[in-house]
Amino acid sequence: MTRKAVVIGLDGAAWHLLDPMIDAGVMPRLGALKARGSSGTLTSTIPTYTPPAWTSSVTGVNPGRHGVYGFIEGNAQAERQELMHSGKIKSPTLWEIANAQGVRCGIYNLPLTYPPRPLDGWMVSGMMTPGYGESQRDFVYPAAHQEKILSWAPGYVLDVHANYEQDWRDDSLARRALASIEQRYTVLDRLLQEDPVDLLFTVQEAPDRIQHVYYRYMDPRDPLYDTGQGARMRDAVLECFAKIDEIVGLLEDWASADGAIQVVSDHGFTAWEVSVHQNALLQQWGYLRLKPAARAMQTGFARSLVPLAKRALPRKVAREAKSKTFAAIDWANTRAFASPIPQQGVFVNLAGRERFGIVPQGELESIKDDLVRRFQELRAPDGGPATDRVYRSQEVFSGHAIDGAPDILPVLRDHRFELDDELFHKQAFTDVSDMPRGVHHPDGIVVVAGPGSSGTSFDAHVTDVMPTLLYQAGLKVPEGLDGKVMESAFDPGHLTRHPVQTTAALSSSLKDEESPYSAAEEAEIEEALRGLGYL
C-alpha cells in the first residue's frame, strides 16, 4: 500500500542551532515532529557541499556514480569550467524511480534541477536556476505552472543570494530571506492544492544562506553570540526560522497522520576560522610553480586588493579575472594544484588526464602518498595539528564518474579551516575568526516520522534518504544503491510486518547534456556562488 511521503529539506541545518530555537518556542512544529519521530545526525558527502550532497540524497549513490562533485565541472586546467546542471546527473533519480512504480512526484526547489525534467507530476527548479522574478524562463515543469507561480508570488525568487563579505553588517539578508520563505509557503500550498502528488521532495535554502553570513551570531556556544551586534541580527534571523517552521507544519499537515515524513539537511554548519590557501602550500612543497612575472603578485599590497576587486569589479570582469589567474601557473613544472573550492581537494597534474598533465601514471600513487603525509604533518599557526584526516579519492568515491574527483581530499580542523584555490598567497593561512561567518560541517540533521517510526536516536548518511523515502511510501527500493533504508528509525515489529522490498535498478535517462546557460546567465550564477565564497 502506498502512502503520502515527503522530504522536508533544510539546507545546512544543524541540531546545535535548531535545538535552542525549538526550546525557545520558535520552531514548535519541528520540535513536535522530532519528539514523535526518530532523529539523529545525517552525515554529508565528502566533499561536504550542496551539489554532491543533495544529488546523493535523491539518487542514493555516491558522487563517483552520479558525477556531481561541485558547482562546476572541471578544474583550473579546463578550457571551460562548465556550470553543473540537471543534465549532468549520471544516475537514476527519486522521481524516475517513483514514476516507474506509478507514483506522481512533486520536486520543489531542489538544487541542480535546472532545467526541470519532464516527469509525472511537477518540478520547480532551485539553486543554479538563472533569472529573477518574471524574467526567469523555463524553471517549472509542466510549463503551464510557471505563470501560476508568478501570479501567486509576483517577483518569485528561486534562490536567496547572499554576499558573505558584506551582508553580515546588517539584517537585510535576513529580511530578503524572510520574503522568499513567505513565497515558498504560498507556492507550495497552492501547488499541493491544485496539482496533487503522492511523493514530495522539497528544499528550503534560506538556512544555508543565513548561516554563511550570521553563523557566529546564531551559535550559543560562540563568543560573538552575546555581542550587541549578535543580538541585533538574531531577531530577524529567528523570524526566518519561525516562518520555515510554518512550512514544516504545512507539509506535515499535507502528509496527514497516516503519511510519512523526513526532515533532512545536506550538511551542517560551523564557524569559519581560517582560510587555507592550498596552492601556497603546494608551492612551498615544490609541487606548484608560478611563472616569474606572476610572483610580483605575492605581496601584501597586491593581496589586499583582492577583496576590493571582488566587491567592486563588474561580474563579467571578476569572472574573467579569476580564470585568467590560473594562466599564471607554470604548468610544465607543476605536479599538483588545488581543486575548485567546493571540491575541497587536490588534483595531481596527471599526464593523459589533465590538459597540461606532466606526471606519469606510474608516479601517481607515490605523489598522493607524499601529499597525504605532508597534510597530516601540517601545523596550524597556533602550533597545533591543522589536519584531521586526508582521504584518497578511491576511499570515498566509486563508480563510472570517479575521474572527475580530486585525487586527495584533506579535512582540516573540524571543517573550521576552509580550503581555497586562490593564487598569489605567500602564507598558507589567513585568520578570519573575527568575522561572524560560517562554513559547512558534515553533521546534518534527520527526522523520520510516521508509521513505524521508533522514536529512537540514530545516525544515517545522505545516500540513505532516497531509499528510506521509497520505503516509507510503500514503494520498492532499487537494488545496488550505496544508501540503504534507515532501519534503526523504525520499530522492529514494523520492519517485520512491512519488510523492505527491492526492484531491479533503473538505467538513467539522463545523458551528458550540453549547458543550458547563456554566457550572461553563467556570469549571473557565478556571481551568486562567489557571494557565498564558493568561487
Which DSSP letter does residue 79 get?
Answer: S
- Smallest CA-to-CA distance from 212 within 414, 14, 421 is with 14
* Helix H or strand E segment including 200: strand 199-204
Question: What mean pLDDT do residues 227-237 have?
Answer: 94
Please give the grid coordinates belonging to residue 517.
546557460
pLDDT band for 296, please (50, 70, 90 cuts).
low
- Mean pLDDT, the chain, as a whole number? 92
| Cut 0.95: pTM above it | no
Torsion angle of the four alpha carbons 403, 90, 61, 250, in this order, in degrees rounded to the nearest 10: 140
* pLDDT value for 316: 45
Q: Is 466 helix (H, G, I), strand (E, B) or coil?
A: helix
Return the pLDDT at 508.
67
Specify the pLDDT at position 322. Answer: 52
Burial class (CB in 10 A: 0-12, 13-18, 19+), 24: exposed
Using pLDDT thresholds of 50, 70 and 90, give the confidence band for residue 318. Answer: very low
3-state secondary structure 134-186: HHCCCCEECCHHHHHHHHHCCCCCCCCCCCCCCHHHCCHHHHHHHHHHHHHHH
* Residue 520 pLDDT: 87
pLDDT > 50? residue 94: yes
At 18 the pLDDT is 98
User: Tell me, what amino acid is at 132?
Assistant: Y
Q: Which domains does the chain have, with CATH numbers?
A: 5-269+439-531 (3.40.720.10), 274-434 (no CATH)
DSSP letters for 246-266: HHHHHHHHHH-TTSEEEEE-S
Quick check: 133 pLDDT over 60?
no
pLDDT band at 404 (very low <50, low <70, confident <90, very high): confident
Backbone angles phi, psi at 334, to 5 degrees: -115, 125
Is the pLDDT score of 315 beyond 50? no
- Express each pLDDT in 139-193 by its tens digit: 999 999 999 999 999 999 999 989 888 999 999 999 999 999 999 999 999 999 9
* Residue 302 confidence (pLDDT): 47
Q: Residue 86: pLDDT above 60? A: yes
Q: How much is the pLDDT for 150?
A: 93
Residue 313 has pLDDT above 60, yes or no: no
Whether residue 263 has pLDDT greater than 50: yes
Strand order in the sheet with 5-10: 140-141, 121-125, 105-110, 199-204, 5-10, 260-264, 443-449, 38-43, 457-461
Q: Does 21 score more than 80 pLDDT?
A: yes
Q: What is the pLDDT of residues 209-230, one digit of tens each?
A: 999 999 999 999 999 999 999 9
pLDDT attached to residue 257 = 85
Angle at 469 between CA 465 and CA 473, to 5 degrees: 175
- 407 in Cβ contact with 392 (< 8 Å): yes
| pLDDT of 344 above 80 | yes
Is pLDDT of 26 > 60?
yes
For residue range 507-531, list pLDDT tens digits in order.
Answer: 865 567 889 998 888 888 888 898 8
Q: What SS3 state is found at 81?
A: coil
* pLDDT band, very low/low/confident/very high, at 428 (cuts 50, 70, 90): very high
